[in-house]
Structure 1
């Protein structure tokens, strides 16, 4: 199965070609060449010309297929870890989206941005121009970290991987509460692989290597109440994130009603991803 970043790229290609493409001679030639991808244009140009001409008569070219080309090119750049080149090409593509399409395809524009968010980018519309920006200076490195983490989850922690994929899919659908709830499942599912008691959170204690007899801490509140400041720092941080995911996700309609936002869902995804990246870097599969 494709990883979540490959799925996001495919959906970006789908929306850019099916919804936000406007057919104009030489448009794709300009985009690819300005992005420094002249060779790709030469390779796929037969699929990037929307019309052919018989004298002065314009005819639709049946081979025109921007989705096929974009999916091939962007996937190849991604697989070869040429993330900067992929981002530059995407920036030139979105810069050609017309104000008319943005204003009349607002739902699809929001969906497109959700998929860009998954890759670590944000699509904005400023001064009648579409602009693609990275969330941070480390966007390239983060995309690769998440890609490697995703493959690692697939190989060693399939249940946690499924929940993480469900969280991403919920985010792409704009379902913030379910996204956060699946983040919670991914977190608990991952640490359950390491638990030494019936409680999932005992897996955190094993993973963080906090020196503790888990039999003495069958209730999580005892860890918070009976420990001194500075003890179990990593455990406490991870468990507090779990509590937030519970309040904003799974239990959002219980007690104090919570209305999670897109920002809440994105924060939840990023936090869980960072914990899992940290886990991968710690070679935790060796503890199973």
Structure 2
């Protein structure tokens, strides 16, 4: 009969065998896992390398700079060294409506308000500038300082000197095409009465000064960009145009003898023309014969 010591040795041996077997199985599993991870890593390196070789990580410079396109360019002016200019910042270069119209209301001390439709389709930057300046009260309590020989009321200069404006300028938009020196008698005027146009100083460097025409005007070399049309209050503009003028202090008899004060100028929200009706699904119109009419 086996002694107790022999049984203990056998049990210990069996336990050791089981431990060795478990360790061997664990080692085989770790090796399989490591082999799988290594294969996956190698495959990933191959895929990434191929993607890189084919230019997958190359970025188009235009894509890196992608963003809303700039609609307007505002050229800064040094207001610190020019007392005729007023620091007002600049409007947005990208968030600019480019279709439809915006109503502009000019309230003066000369009668009913003058309302204008700003043309955003043909002069979006002028519309954006008027909205920006009116939001800061730039035009409030300023005078229309000149009645021009072209037949227009000149306003928008807070200094009243003809040299004033905001701390930026912008380029011309919507200047009428040049005409011959002797246009046909029945040719429409380039600037009909009621036209609202910018007046840059020098021409092409527009700021805040604008013209409201009370008389038709045509010139062989147009330079005023059209920005809108008067929709109400043209009679007020016509009355102002008939005012007596006095010397403006610079030797030109162009200043209204009675101050024409802009009490406020406001710009409303963008409005768009209603879309054309879709007639593709409209029922056909019955002809007289189809309805029994003769």
* TM-score, normalization by structure 2: 0.23
Which is higher, the Rg of structure 1 or of structure 2? 2
Greater RCO, CA 8 A, separation 6+: 2
Higher relative helix content: 1
TM-score computed with the length of structure 1 as normaliser = 0.23
